[in-house]
Structure 1
């Protein structure tokens, strides 16, 4: 499928949707702008509690997260290197635009770095992957044939999930 927009536009849209969703849930949102951002894109605040949010947008059904760590490493080692580079208090917001009409909301998920690392290691029938797939059905030609990698339903964006993540972040 031909990409509809550039990755830059997808990133901007993903951040805007994320900020809007958190604001709609009653949280204060601070957005960082400019080049070379630290580990997070947004800060979400409730009273004295705060979450750092790293936003990843996609329009192809997956989020490439560990490709840069794969050289001379197994999939699992690449995931471990990726995980070592992320603060455990940062939450990832995964925004998916694939097959979403221009006037519809994208699918949005929230996950910790540890949850993502575990899912990446379980992918492809346990071989591991560099891409976190929203819903990947492995074909008969793949080593993981007959398996399906899918984002856990518990990661779906909701007020309950946000509250759970405030708790997991140790706040």
Structure 2
């Protein structure tokens, strides 16, 4: 998949899973969507969802903010955090190693802006990085043997969705 196809598929799978979880789903239409891609609603409760798809095992989130080597990872992460509403939830969809020919679902994780920023700062033994890894063990270099992995509590579930919508409503 190219990056556009990955993004479209990620949004579709995310919408499907929220509908499965019992939520009404509205998809934003048009170019330059501000802040979020989907809105989920149940009763009076509403949540904005930003979808990020990947087929390489990581989601690059702050690289554009660290083009200058004088900017630290922590500063890039703080800038990224400040550009997002703390009430937006990210759906991180990973297609790497999902056998789509056998109808295997991609893995989907749900995280708040603050949760993602915290994890980005913890990557590489606390030195931070521009990408959030689904599950990466470094094979060489300074971090050889270290494993960076998204927290298990982020895995998409009805309980996780209910927790997040209650958190912001």
TM-score after normalising by structure 1: 0.94
Contact 1:124 1:138 in 2 (8 A): no
Aligned 1:77-116 pairs, distance under 5 A: 77-102=75-100, 103-116=103-116
What is the number of residues matched between the two proteins? Answer: 165
Name the residue aligned to 1:45: 41
Cα displacement string for residues 65-106 of structure 1 (whole angstroms, at most 9, x for unaligned residues): 000111231111110000000000000000000011112100
Residue matched to 2:134: 134
- Supply the distance in 1 between the matched residues of 2:99 and 2:29 (Cα, whole angstroms): 27
Q: Distance in 1 between matches of 2:139 and 2:65?
A: 25
Question: What's the counterpart of residue 75 of structure 1?
Answer: 73
| Aligned residue number for residue 156 of structure 1 | 155
Structure 1: distance between partners of 2:17 and 2:166: 19
* CA–CA distance in structure 1, aligned partners of residues 112 and 71 of structure 2: 23
Shift of 1:166: 1.2
CA displacement at 1:138 relative to structure 2? 1.4
CA distance in 1 between counterparts of 2:20 and 2:127 reads 39
The 1-side partners of 2:133 and 2:119 are apart by 9
Match of 2:22 among 15, 21, 26: 26
The aligned counterpart of 1:59 is 55
Matched position secondary structure for 1:87:
coil
- Deviation at 1:145? 2.3
1:139-163 CA-partner distances (Å, limit 9, x unpaired): 232x222210001000000010011
Tell me how far apart the structure 2 counterparts of residues 33 and 74 of structure 1 sit (CA, whole Å). Answer: 35
Q: Which runs of 5+ in 2 are unaligned?
A: none
**SS of residue in 2 equivalent to 1:122:** helix
Q: What are the superposed Cα offsets for residues 108-167 of structure 1, whole Å, 9 maximum, x if unpaired?
A: 0000000000000000111101000000111232x2222100010000000100111112
Deviation at 1:34, TM superposition (A): 1.5
* Structure 1 unaligned spans of 5+: none
Q: Kindly report the root-mean-square deviation, in angstroms, between the aligned alpha carbons of the 2 structures.
A: 0.8
Alpha-carbon distance between aligned partners in 1 of 2:127 and 2:104, rounded to the nearest angstrom:
35
Q: Which residue does the alignment assign to 2:165?
A: 166
